[in-house]
Chain A
Amino acid sequence: MAEKRAVKNKAMNKKRAIKKKQTMDKKRAVDKKKATNKKSRQQDNLQKNNLVWMVGGEAGYGIMAAGLIFAKTFSRGNLNVFANNEYPSLIRGGHNTFTVRVSDKPIHSCISKIDLLVALNKETIELHKDELSENSAIIYDSSIKSINAKNINVNKGIRLCPVPLERFAQELGEKKIMMNSVAIGASLALVNYDFNIFASVIKDIFGEKGPRIVDTNLRAAKEGYNYVKKNHKEFGFELKPVRAAKKMVMTGNDAIALGAVNAGCKFISAYPMTPASAILHNLSAWAKDANLITVQPEDELAAINMAIGAGYAGVRSMTATSGGGFCLMVEGLGLAGISETPVVIVEGQRPGPSTGMPTRTEQGDLRFPIHASQGEFPRIILAPGDVEDCFYLTQEAFNLAERFQCPVILMADKYLMESYKTAEGFDLKKIKLNRGSIVSEKQLKPLKLKEFFPRYKFTPIGVSPRTLPGMKNGIFISTSEEHDEFGQVTDDPANRIRMMDKRMEKMEQAKRAVPRPVLYGTKKAKITILSWGSPKGSILEAIELLKKDGINTNFMQLTCLHPFPANEVAGIISSASQVIVVEQNKTSQLSSLIREHTGDEIRYRILKYDGKPFPVDYLYAQLKKVIK
């Protein structure tokens, strides 16, 4: 009941707000009529529901939290949001940004321009002034006097909006951290957005911390909002709720964790490491609701071995790490391979080698999990490209791990895992639970076994029936050594050949069970783009831009890299006159895989390995350069 009432109140608040807004709109319309020629010219160019907002400053000022609040404020107005962060590996100081792109059209990636910059320090202005778009604005603290027309390109119509951010924060008796709330209020006023929607986000996010925190944040934001309404009236951008529906907004890490829970994952052991830590954070926070156990062990060696132990015991289990942590898991990967234990491993890539650039993005590890560990054994490697893929492919990963009794690696990267994107509701029943060939105790009862159960029985499909410890009549040895059908160690050459063939047969079977590549655009196109992972978002937008230029391109996204979809890739390559590979590494590892599996040499490659993602505009420009 209480919830219903709250919803009703919210709805009434919204109605009131809309009415208030309508009156304000009318008032502004009158103001506009009185405006000068120059002003009306600006009005013609008014950008509606299309904005890139960036907040920048030192670490420790709550920039990430402010960014998420800002993003949610618009997703609750049914607008689409894409938000990404950039930060160095430290806790205080350094330069941090959080960029939110808002649009009423579908958006999938970041873009390299800023329409509204919130600078919590002077450095932010210095670093980003050249990215400001025409008619953009900068909100900054009034105490920074050195910002003026001399160092800002006013020809582009950039507006300077000093706001006493720090003073308002201090007047509320709060530390500087409240500056970002003042700045959000100021931003909302500039883009003329409904303050009540923002208030609802604050209430939900800070509700647990108590009414005082909610109240202080709201008052801080209102100060900023009112100040801008009074002192800075004109701005070339406006954001309006589309209708009274709301969308989800989440990161790739959120979607992976949600996918894991929906797949019935009950155990995660993971050692914290950027960019994968949030998977463990999420699952730890939901442990009670989702009836699962999370362990933060001493290292990644323990993490994967615990997950393998849980998998052996019959529980859907996972671990999550980055390339560096995966290095430590390699011996465990082989153990899962030879003992035929299901386990899901998330490999969140960041620029290497070694510590590399810990908080930046790259796709330099593609070949690593394919070849990791000594010997040959089946493994499956999936690569989500966006939040939706993260949710569904994680569930596929758990099914495949149990169906083929092998490790499944989910390859993601920092940009995908930590960027926020709006998502429509998920289809919770889309991926059906498939636990493979687990034997029931009932099936075991009538068996007349000499002593051990043939857990590694030779079968035509390579998958053997699986018992779980605790099942009567099902005992067997699981081992890291070569073994016979019961798990007993043997070096017998004939057994070795049969056991290797049995295990590798699972890979042949998996070829028909793994997710297929996804084709975007027409079935046949003169130009084909091939890619995997997070560049998906920018590619989807870039092919739309190319279409407007009259260039028809299609895009094949590889969602499973191992086993490699050789037929589909060879097919699309032969049907296109120009094939371009897009990926975030130096040596174009996807191109090398394509050559390995199809014999085709990819001549056109758009590669990026500077630690930053592919913005849409950058990719579009690169594509225009190489397209013949």
Chain B
Amino acid sequence: MINESKMKPEDYLSSVQPNWCPGCGNFGILGAAKLAFSQLELEHHQIVVVSGIGCGSKIPYWLRTYGFCGLHGRPLPVATGIKLSNPKLNVVVFAGDGDGYGEGGNHFIHSCRRNHNLTYIVHNNLVYGLTTGQHSPTSEKGFITKTSPFGATEEAFNPISMAISAGASFVARGFAGDPKHLAELIVKGIEHKGFAFIDVLQPCVTFNKINTFDWYSKRVYRLEEAGHNPANKKAAFERSLEWGDRIPIGIFYKEDKPVYDEQLPDAKIPLVEQKLEKVDIRMILERFY
């Protein structure tokens, strides 16, 4: 599936060495991202990588592209402002499960609804890493952490079902232990016109001793190999509920529909290219006489 490209994946790495734990699932996601960028032959200055705060959110520092490391939970709104200002940019958002599903849960719901032309990749390790091990919105019920010594009491959040129901037009799940497959999903996500959401199963080698590489490897299966039709919303919902012995990865749901800015009354010229010297408000002023 991945073709030879003029741009090498390594070209997208900055000279700064990642400071993740050895063996962290984030390396697989970084590898998949650079592979996807090279596959799409994107130029460095055409990419803006936006993130929040968390282990995975450090990713812009390791990439040789424009980057914006914003606030915990808020990368989606920042990315929305960037994309609406300059639709020519490839805006790729990275967040974590605490970041994207906890602190930024509201932005996630409404970004799905608005269908901005963004790619949203969530490093989902089912635990808080950077704050040294507390349960996260996707932690399984009963998961023992520093803040849940008797087991997490909350139900785990299901990001896939949520995204489908909120109107996301591209909903997928990848696995950090399968970077090539994940890269294919990222390529399709960037190519998709609309809000492309990719939840990534990311083992945390330090704080999650249950959902490990091995644990996932035994369970994941590819939707495209199981005869799943991503155009079937009902089937997508059914697959989204699978968790346990078998965990689906791949594209759950895909739909072509107009993106947010296509539906706006005007601003045909990208905002960033408009000539501010030419602004003329005299027509508008007439309304006040």
Binding site for B on A (CB under 8 A): 75-76, 246-250, 254, 258, 261-264, 266-267, 269, 286-293, 295, 297-299, 301-303, 305-317, 331-332, 335, 339, 423, 426, 428, 433, 435, 450-452, 468-481, 487-489
Contact = CB atoms under 8 A, between A and B. Distances in A.
A301 B74 contact: yes
A297 B50 CA distance: 19
A267 B272 CA distance: 10
13 contacts: A261-B279, A267-B84, A288-B265, A293-B264, A305-B77, A309-B85, A312-B81, A314-B272, A316-B276, A469-B48, A475-B45, A477-B67, A487-B67
Given A266-B271, A310-B271, A451-B14, A480 B71 contact: yes
A253 to B, nearest CB: 12
A254 to B, nearest CB: 7
B267 A335 contact: no
Contact of B264 (A76, A287, A311, A487): A287
Contacts of B84: 267, 293, 295, 306, 310
Contacts of A254: 288
A390 to B, nearest CB: 13
Interface stretch (B58-66, B152-160, B233-241, B248-256): B58-66
For the complex of A and B, 6 pairs with smallest distance between CB atoms: A309-B81, A264-B276, A305-B77, A313-B85, A310-B81, A306-B81
B276 A312 contact: no
A479 B68 contact: yes
A317 B81 contact: yes
Contacts of A477: 60-61, 66-69
B61 A295 contact: no
Interface stretch (B21-29, B102-110, B192-200, B223-231): B102-110
A248 B284 CA distance: 12
B274 interface: yes
A291 B16 contact: no
B206 interface: no
Given A301-B107, A472-B45, 10 more contacts: A287-B266, A292-B267, A301-B106, A302-B107, A305-B70, A309-B79, A468-B272, A473-B45, A475-B65, A479-B67
Interface of B: 14-16, 43-46, 48, 50, 53, 58, 60-61, 64-71, 73-74, 76-86, 88-89, 106-107, 109-110, 261, 264-267, 269, 271-272, 274, 276-277, 279, 281-285, 288-289
B100 to A, nearest CB: 14
Contacts of B107: 298, 301-302
Nearest to A249: B288
Contact of B70 (A250, A264, A290, A335): A335
Contacts of A339: 68, 70
Given A291-B267, A292-B271, A426-B285, A433 B277 contact: yes
A469 B89 contact: yes
A480 B70 contact: yes
B70 A266 contact: no
Which of A267, A433, A450, A471 has the most chain B CB atoms closer than 10 A to its own CB?
A267
A315 B76 CA distance: 18
A14 B184 CA distance: 72
A254 B264 CA distance: 22
B77 A312 contact: no
Nearest to A450: B15
A297 B284 contact: no
A297 B282 contact: no
Contacts of B106: 298-299, 301-302
Contacts of B266: 287-288, 291
Contacts of A263: 276, 279
B5 to A, nearest CB: 19
Given A313-B85, A489-B61, A293 B261 contact: yes
A480 B110 CA distance: 23
Contacts of A261: 279, 281, 284
Contact of B284 (A289, A315, A473, A475): A289
B110 A470 contact: no
Which of A298, A450, A474 has the most chain B CB atoms closer than 10 A to its own CB?
A298
Contacts of B288: 248-250, 254, 423
B274 A266 contact: yes
B275 to A, nearest CB: 9
Given A293-B267, A298-B107, A315 B272 contact: yes
B111 to A, nearest CB: 9
B66 A476 contact: yes
Given A267-B271, A479-B68, A262 B281 contact: yes
A470 B279 contact: no
Contact of B289 (A247, A475, A487): A247
